[in-house]
A and B are shown apart, each in its own frame.
Chain A
Amino acid sequence: MIWVDTVVQGVLLGGLYALFAAGLSLVFGIMRLVNLAHGDLIVMAAYLILVLVTVLGLPPFLAAAVAAPVMFGIGWVLQKYLLNRTLGSDILPPLLVTFGLSIALQNALLEGFSADSQRLPTGAISTSSLEIGALNIGVLPLLTFASAIAVIIGLNQLFYRTSLGRAFRATSDDPVTASLMGIKPGHVFATATAIAMLVVTLAALYLGMRANFDPNIGPARLIYAFQAVIIGGLGSLWGTLAGGVIIGVSQTIGAAINPEWQILAGHVAFLLVLLVRPRGLFPRAVD
């Protein structure tokens, strides 16, 4: 039974990794932009929520709801006035700029909040659990996983059922032709990054409620997000969820065998999947 519990905990942990990765997947899927500052933006959103909790005394969920439009605006401006300028046939400029942004964000957060670990106050929810048979499932991990599913469903609906989603996909296919049809690629990209920042805010909320965070943990979150996106197949949202679950389950099984193997087991699983399916589990038909 302990192994079933381990796998269930891994699946739920995968929900958090899927939330880390969904925004990255969204941005990559639409504009082929690899945002190396993604992890740091998650950490920045966590600090923004923390400030709202401590200064205004808001509960974390309400604070996240207030932080979401702020992050939306930051994402829009960031893409419109900085990242759009780096897009083109050369993949190096966006990598260099987002790498620089990552360093700048880490140092700004260190300057503003010091290197001390922080955590969002959660109250009773962090210790609440549901008893299902012989399993005890934490409410917060369950809520995280449910949020990840809701985000993936929501983004899929947005992509395939709305005018904006069709504009996303058309621009992703061919921005030049899309612009001849009256679409403004620069606006579409800015809107995509803004929406990705909404997901980032949700990821930051659960990150801050479930674990300690400090200004330097962004790059590690980026690695988990990358691994989930690549395992799932670049640009596939459901694949991203599957990728997150695979990493989560691998980590909990690794930790059950030996606590020192937790992180390593996730990396090994990532490499094994790439050995068998180099383009990930659910790659897009044409990339």
Chain B
Amino acid sequence: MSILSLKTVSKSFGSLKVTDDVSFEVPEGQALGIIGPNGAGKSTLFNLITGNLTADAGTIRFQDQDVTRVPAMQRCFAGVGRSFQIPQPFDHLTVFENLLVAASHGRALDEHEVEADCARILEQTELLPVANKPAGGLSLLQRKRLEMARALATDPKLLLLDEIAGGLTDAECVALIDTIRSVHARGVTIIWIEHVLHALTSVVERLLVLDFGKIIGIGDPEDIMSRPEVKEIYLGIEV
């Protein structure tokens, strides 16, 4: 059963079509990777799924409900969580408070009802040692972890990760992959945009390639990466 389905979704900024007739489905519990060159429309696609942007045409269904025109906040309540490419924590709140805000407001619950859950997520994302530090003073890896932790605090059924491994060292990347795997193992459906291919392919079960807003291919990661058109468009190798 699909948790998310996009049918002929399009979005333009002026005369520039950034999402062009995109259709795909994500089965519940799957991890889908999205790759594509800069400007391919990957983050725009995320913004359409979260409701930050509204599609010009097409339909987006989440858990069998049409959410194409549903505001971002309602989609958060329904179970769509996301992390941003550039971490955007609430700098003046502590790490724990960042999670409390996301968990209580994102699920419309009282803070005391979500405290234990926030503590568990802090442990899962290895942020417990910095729980009481202001988020503005965290390292890049910690900020990336907080992005994911805060998205998890909203108890998402679908987690969207936007270039979460970008800018990390290899060791940091390995640590982050372990965390993402543990989240995925709990049954959370993941869609992950990433340029760090070895990180992405070590987690996802399916890969989608975007170029100029169009889907170039979708399927098994190994199969997709071996296609000549993907090598040419994404890796810049002439075939």
Residues of A within 8 A of B (CB): 163, 166-167, 169-170, 172-174, 177-184, 284-286
Q: How far is the CA of A284 from the CA of B105 in the complex (A)?
A: 25
A-B contact pairs, 29 of them (CB 8 A): A163-B100, A163-B104, A163-B111, A166-B97, A166-B100, A167-B101, A169-B93, A170-B90, A170-B98, A173-B90, A173-B91, A173-B93, A174-B88, A177-B88, A177-B90, A178-B90, A178-B105, A180-B52, A180-B73, A181-B102, A181-B150, A182-B76, A182-B102, A182-B106, A183-B105, A184-B73, A284-B92, A285-B92, A285-B136
When C-beta atoms are compared, the residue in chain A nearest to B81 turns out to be A180
Q: Is B130 an interface residue (CB 8 A)?
A: no
When C-beta atoms are compared, the residue in chain A nearest to B106 turns out to be A182
Kindly list chain B residues whose C-beta atoms are within 8 Å of the C-beta of A284: 92
**Per-residue A-contact encoding for B96-117, CB less than 8 Å = 1, 0 else:** 0110111011111011000000
Contact A182 B92 (CB under 8 A): no
Q: Is B54 an interface residue (CB 8 A)?
A: no
Q: Is B154 an interface residue (CB 8 A)?
A: yes
Q: Name the distance in Å between B122's Cβ and chain A's nearest Cβ.
A: 16
Residues of B within 8 A of A (CB): 50, 52, 72-73, 76-77, 82, 84, 88, 90-93, 97-98, 100-102, 104-108, 110-111, 136, 150, 154
Given contacts A180-B73, A184-B73, A167 and B88 within 8 Å (CB-CB): no
Please classify the interface of chain B as helix (H, G, I), strand (E, B), loop, or mixed, using the class held by over half of its residues: helix
Pair count A-B, CB < 8 A: 65
When C-beta atoms are compared, the residue in chain B nearest to A163 turns out to be B111
Kindly list chain B residues whose C-beta atoms are within 8 Å of the C-beta of A166: 93, 97, 100-101
Given contacts A166-B101, A167-B105, A170-B101, A180 and B90 within 8 Å (CB-CB): no
When C-beta atoms are compared, the residue in chain A nearest to B100 turns out to be A166
Kindly list chain B residues whose C-beta atoms are within 8 Å of the C-beta of A178: 90, 101, 105
Contact A182 B93 (CB under 8 A): no
Given contacts A172-B92, A173-B91, A286-B91, A182 and B136 within 8 Å (CB-CB): no
Kindly list chain B residues whose C-beta atoms are within 8 Å of the C-beta of A183: 73, 101, 105
Given contacts A166-B97, A285-B136, A286-B136, A182 and B91 within 8 Å (CB-CB): no
Kindly list chain A residues whose C-beta atoms are within 8 Å of the C-beta of B101: 166-167, 170, 178, 181, 183
Q: Name the distance in Å between A159's Cβ and chain B's nearest Cβ.
A: 10
When C-beta atoms are compared, the residue in chain B nearest to A235 turns out to be B92
When C-beta atoms are compared, the residue in chain B nearest to A183 turns out to be B105
Kindly list chain B residues whose C-beta atoms are within 8 Å of the C-beta of A179: 72-73
Q: How far is the CA of A286 from the CA of B90 in the complex (A)?
A: 11
